[in-house]
Chain A
Amino acid sequence: MTRKTDTQITWKTFSEGLWANNPVFVMLLGMCPTLAVTNSAINALAMGLATTFVLLASGLLVSLLARYIPKQVRIATYIVIIATFVTMIDYIIQAISLDLYNALGAFIQLIVVNCIILGRAEAYASKHRPAKAVLNALGMGAGFTLALLCLGLVREILGSGSVFGVDLFGPAFQPWVIMTLPPGGFLVLGAWLLLFDWFRLRRQQKETVTGGQSDVA
């Protein structure tokens, strides 16, 4: 694809990451932070926003520099670009809230090895105009944040009986502690994937029954 042909910015540029190619639920990328920091909704949100920032900034820079970077060293260059922005967000979070910084721990620095970011830089940002790359990164970031929130909310409601630290059920609630511990992360994500697989299978069955008449939205 040449750079000249892709001048059109459509809704799909943004929405692709949100739903159809959701990085967590569909592409199964960036699993480590997805499971590790989603034991409460606020951690999930912070992680999502931090990753979105890095996606956005590195997407923009990679897209701007793509034609000057020699092909042989492109991966190394992308990693250095990403690491720079991660170092920035690391210090930014440390400045905003020390509690949050301690809760997320090393996982802020580990954004560097989040495959979503390198994947987007290589597969999208380096081949498209800056405006498109930014919009796509925004969509992917939003999709990632959404997925993290899905997990964080379920785990916090079941595991601590609260949402964003606000108590829901009162003192009589017996928290399901396992949900905030590591096994809960695996089980909740597994359950979400099961749900999505079930929807997809049902839709496929419907399509074969009606002879593919229904729209594939």
Chain B
Amino acid sequence: MSPDSLTFIFLNTVLANNFVLAMFLGLCPFLGVSGRLDTAIPMGIATTFVMLVSSVCAYAINQVLVAFDIEFLRLISYIAIIASAVQLVEMGLKKYSPSLFRSLGIFLPLITTNCAILGVALFQTFRDYDFSQSLVYAFGAGVGFTLAIALMAGLREKLELSQLPSVTQGAALSLMLGGMLSLTFMGFAGLGGGHG
């Protein structure tokens, strides 16, 4: 498979270069919202949606920025786009699923400062992806994020029932779990071939 084909980009971002476990993007929700499976999965879906919207908008605005030769404004305009996309998702959720809106709480507006989303927008620009590639890249990143956060939530739900030494109860345990997951995902590295 050529590294530019859509299948390759998708598999690469979901498994081999998983955004959370291999590239360390989006760790705050990964550690913060992974307590329960039934909030972790909606969080993943909401993040995927914001990624798709902001990826499309970022692609469009980048064309404008390049055309006018004002690339130094890229960071500021991307952030503004992401903030508006999050606002959109927030309004949608509030209208159609108020209970989910409440259970996600503060982590919903915090999607704005989720580095995975700005990461998608920046990486697709650095790698000169065209429109369909960007879209697949954003979708792959979202699926990878959902996969990682759902796996983590499943593990943590199991751990709630087990007896642990008091010193390990806290963030340290989550990080160790993340390390194990990351180790497991390294097994997929043969699929992708290197970072970058």
Q: Which residues of A contact B (CB under 8 A)?
A: 28-29, 31-33, 35-36, 76, 79-80, 83-84, 86-87, 90-91, 106, 109-110, 112-115, 118, 178, 181-187, 189-191, 193-194, 197-198, 201
Contact = CB atoms under 8 A, between A and B. Distances in A.
Given A31-B31, A182-B182, A201-B167, A83 B79 contact: yes
Interface stretch (B43-51, B58-66, B139-147, B170-178): B170-178
A36 B182 CA distance: 13
Contact of B119 (A35, A110, A198): A110
Interface stretch (B5-13, B19-27, B34-42, B89-97): B19-27
Given A79-B79, A189-B175, A190-B172, 19 more contacts: A28-B171, A31-B28, A32-B24, A35-B24, A80-B79, A83-B79, A84-B76, A87-B76, A91-B72, A110-B115, A113-B79, A114-B115, A181-B186, A183-B183, A190-B175, A193-B170, A193-B172, A193-B175, A197-B172
Given A189-B175, A190-B179, A193-B172, A115 B113 contact: yes
23 contacts: A31-B27, A35-B24, A35-B27, A87-B72, A87-B75, A91-B72, A106-B126, A109-B75, A112-B75, A115-B28, A181-B186, A182-B182, A183-B183, A185-B179, A185-B182, A186-B178, A187-B176, A189-B175, A194-B167, A194-B168, A194-B172, A197-B170, A201-B166
Enumerate the 8 nearest inter-chain pairs by beta-carbon distance, A residue then B residue, closest first: A186-B179, A190-B175, A36-B24, A193-B172, A31-B27, A187-B179, A183-B182, A190-B176
B179 A106 contact: no
A190 B129 CA distance: 36
A53 B118 CA distance: 21
A109 B186 contact: no
Interface of B: 21-28, 31, 72, 75-76, 79-80, 83, 110, 112-115, 118-119, 122-123, 126, 166-168, 170-173, 175-176, 178-180, 182-183, 186
Contact of A182 (B114, B123, B186): B186
Contact of A80 (B27, B76, B115, B183): B76
Nearest to A187: B179
A106 B75 CA distance: 11
Given A109-B75, A110-B119, A190-B175, A118 B113 contact: yes
Given A193-B171, A194-B167, A197-B172, A112 B118 contact: yes
A63 to B, nearest CB: 21
Contacts of A187: 175-176, 179
A80 B24 CA distance: 24
Given A36-B24, A84-B76, A186 B119 contact: no
Nearest to A199: B167
A106 B119 contact: yes
A186 B175 contact: yes
A84 B76 CA distance: 7
Nearest to B196: A105
Contacts of B123: 106
Nearest to A190: B175
A144 to B, nearest CB: 15
A84 B118 CA distance: 15
- B83, B126, B166, B167 interface centre (most CB from chain A within 10 Å): B167
